[in-house]
Amino acid sequence: MSATTVGIPDVPKPKEEKNYLNNGNTISSWLLTTDHKRIAILYLISVSFFFLVGGTAAGLVRLELTSPRGIFFENETYNKIFSLHGIVMVFFFLIPAIPAVIGNFLVPLMCGARDLAFPRMNLLSWYVFISGGSLAVLAMLLGGVDTGWTFYTPYSSLYSNTQVTLAVFGGFLAGFSSIFTGINFIVTIHKMRAPGLTWFRLPLFLWAQYATSVIIILGTPVIAITLLLLFAERVLKLGVFSPELGGDPVLFQHMFWFYSHPAVYIMILPAMGVTNEIISCFSRSRIFGYSFVAFSSLAIAGLGFLVWGHHMFVSGQSMYQGLVFSIITFLVAIPSAIKIFNWAATLYKGSIRLQTPMWYGLGFIGLFLIGGLTGLFLSSMASDVHLHDTYFVVAHFHYVMVGGTIMGYMGGLHMWWPKMTGRMYPEFLGQLSAMLVFVGFNMTFIPQFIVGYLGMPRRYHYYYLAPEFQVYNIMSTLGASVLAVGYAMPVFYLIWSLKYGRKAGPNPWHAWGLEWTTASPPPTFNFATVPIVTSEAYDYDAVSDDQHDFLREEEDAAKRAEGDVKHDFQRSEEESATKIEGEE
């Protein structure tokens, strides 16, 4: 198909170009596809479903907590709802969201490759994910799980009489889908980069995905073993974690957090990667301190494996262990701080446009900053003792995982939506939703910091023992309703844009990066010819900066779509040097 556009010069009526979306419309062409872009769309639909389920559960939790004695539910039902929220959001939304949707779509495009290294394994990863997700949904339909997403033993192994076995097996399976994705990314980034795309010319999104994949393939097998042992103790009564059977319940926590702390970085690193691309594109400057930002991802991946015990300062682990885990935790905070300072410095002398992705990107920095800094309270041992397992912790990790990961995910979705679909989303609604999410998020979780410091434990259905907590819970629920509107809006306008959105053209943002040199949506094999990279990363001096490109009329964009899609930064340097268009 690569030859069609050049081969037929005299056809008067422009034929609709074949791209990955219209190249086959049968159900099997989707369900048996090995095209990374179609698999990304399958993942997009799946994780959106899980986000809806998890979000609904969160809404019910917030409504229930507006009264100290609850409103709708019995204890058991409430416990199942917050467990559902945690399990679905962590294992079936936050972990896969950016790697499996945006990463799947972009890693080959950013590398200048035609697909991931192992396309069939990529498809298998989606099926494994769906199998795991189905088991989790089945567990929910058969009555639910009441252990919380952490599955602490011996409650989960010997005491809970809910559908723990099914849910654990679902999580076990979902882990393999991450491992497949991780292997695919590592091999693709190592072996399939376009000529000239050296390691230090890679977009920082790829560095982040690379670091994430390393964590995934080293960490996920540990949670698989842990869940398998839990399964063995629950079903076969094999004593591993329960003292009644000769096991040790704290051992479970060590094994669980050995994966689940690095899993936080599996969630946040890709969002940091997205933020790099957004900040750079919408300030039209190279990321300040590129190599520091790149290596900080690897530092986080490495140190992230050595801090799990900071979840266990009051668990009964030794005092000396607590000291060691605490100091390493302080060390891992530094690479995150480096990233934030470098992003702020990137804005200096840039040319900043506040489009929707930029609002999400700046929102990410603000929320992740608060999430990271409030982590200091919890990595400090004495300070953690009082705050541990209270709403302070709940607020902190939501700032990182929701304020961070979901802001990054939404920003990325908006930035690459034109690439994925060929259509622009409505800009005004996009900016409105970004602002609603930012404001609603802070309204929801700042009161939780306060009520946590006052002592409200997490996972509490009733708080009639301390009714003074109510006012903060009501404030939080009000914020959550604003947040819900902010999250719901894109669902509608993005679907609307599929049909009615303005045509995007290959590079609506005039962004740097190989993915912008091919059509939107890209053809099935991404690039007609293998691209050759001759410029540094984020070489925005070489990318033309048309003042009005965002506001351009539809026909204008369409004209560009039909025109030359070859990108400036592939051209030789002297040629691009003549093209620089100054700001003044």
Partner 1 sequence: MWNVPHLPFIPEQASTFAVEYDLIYWTIMALTIFFTVATCAAIAYFVAKYHHGSNADRSNPPATNHALEIAWSVIPLLMALVIFAWNAEMYVKMRVPPKNAMNIFVVGKQWMWHLQHPNGVRENNRLTVPIGVPIKLTMISQDVLHSFYVPQFRVKQDVIPGRYTMLWFEASKIGTYNLFCTEYCGTQHSEMGGYVRVVSQADYAKWLANGGDDSLPNATPVELGKAIWDRYSCGNCHGVKDTERGPSLIGMYGRKREFTDGTSAEADQVYVRDAVLYPYRKILKGYEQTMPEYSDLLNEDQVIQLSLYMKTMGETAKPAANTPAQGTNR
Shortest reach from residue 136's CB to partner 1, in Å: 19
Is position 431 an interface residue for partner 1 (rule: CB under 8 A)?
A: no
* Only segment of 113-121, 211-219, 289-297, 474-482 that touches partner 1 (CB under 8 A): 289-297
Shortest reach from residue 154's CB to partner 1, in Å: 6
Collapsed DSSP state (helix, strand, coil) of residue 390: strand
Between CA 207 and CA 57 the distance in angstroms is 34
Residues 206-265 that bind partner 1 (CB under 8 A): 242-244, 248-250
> How far apart are the two ends of the chain, measured CA to CA in Å?
43
Give, as one character, the DSSP assignment of residue 194.
P
Residues 144-203 that bind partner 1 (CB under 8 A): 146-148, 150, 152, 154-155, 159-160
Q: Give the pair of three-digit tokens for residue 313.
A: 């300062």
State which residue, 153 or 212, has the beta carbon closest to partner 1.
153
From candidates 1, 314, 491, 532, binder to partner 1 by CB under 8 A = 314
Shortest reach from residue 415's CB to partner 1, in Å: 17
Residues 465-504 that bind partner 1 (CB under 8 A): 465-466, 468
Angle between helices 407-421 and 104-111 (to 10 degrees): 60
From candidates 276, 390, 444, 473, binder to partner 1 by CB under 8 A = 390
Between CA 202 and CA 210 the distance in angstroms is 11
Shortest reach from residue 262's CB to partner 1, in Å: 20
From candidates 462, 493, 496, 525, binder to partner 1 by CB under 8 A = 462
From candidates 458, 510, 552, 571, binder to partner 1 by CB under 8 A = 458
Residues 70-109 that bind partner 1 (CB under 8 A): 75-76, 79
Between CA 356 and CA 341 the distance in angstroms is 22
The alpha carbons of the chain give a radius of gyration, in whole angstroms, of 24
Shortest reach from residue 389's CB to partner 1, in Å: 4
Shortest reach from residue 6's CB to partner 1, in Å: 36
Collapsed DSSP state (helix, strand, coil) of residue 433: helix
Collapsed DSSP state (helix, strand, coil) of residue 539: coil
State which residue, 363 or 523, has the beta carbon closest to partner 1.
363
Cβ–Cβ under 8 Å, residues 84 and 56: no
Shortest reach from residue 363's CB to partner 1, in Å: 11
Residues 39-68 that bind partner 1 (CB under 8 A): none
Residues 317-336 that bind partner 1 (CB under 8 A): 319, 322-323, 326-327, 330-331, 333-334
Residues 537-556 that bind partner 1 (CB under 8 A): 547
Question: Look-up: residue for tokens 């004209």?
Answer: 559
Shortest reach from residue 313's CB to partner 1, in Å: 8
From candidates 340, 394, 410, 436, binder to partner 1 by CB under 8 A = 340
Residue 124: count of CB within 10 angstroms of its CB: 16
Between CA 462 and CA 455 the distance in angstroms is 14
Q: Is the dihedral of CA 537, 541, 543, 546 positive or negative?
A: positive
From candidates 49, 127, 341, 525, binder to partner 1 by CB under 8 A = 341
Residues 561-580 that bind partner 1 (CB under 8 A): none
Distances (CA, A) of 489 to 52, 281, 402, 410, 474: 13, 24, 17, 12, 23
Cβ–Cβ under 8 Å, residues 476 and 448: yes
Size of the site for partner 1 (CB under 8 A): 89
Is position 289 an interface residue for partner 1 (rule: CB under 8 A)?
A: yes
Between CA 316 and CA 177 the distance in angstroms is 34
Residues 344-383 that bind partner 1 (CB under 8 A): 344-345, 347-354, 362, 365-366, 369-370, 373-374, 376-377, 380-383
- H or E element: which one contains 22? none
Contacts of 555 (CB under 8 A, 6+ apart): none
Residues 103-142 that bind partner 1 (CB under 8 A): none
Shortest reach from residue 384's CB to partner 1, in Å: 8
Question: Look-up: residue for tokens 């969630």?
Answer: 267
Collapsed DSSP state (helix, strand, coil) of residue 428: helix
Is position 445 an interface residue for partner 1 (rule: CB under 8 A)?
A: no
Between CA 532 and CA 115 the distance in angstroms is 17
Shortest reach from residue 152's CB to partner 1, in Å: 6
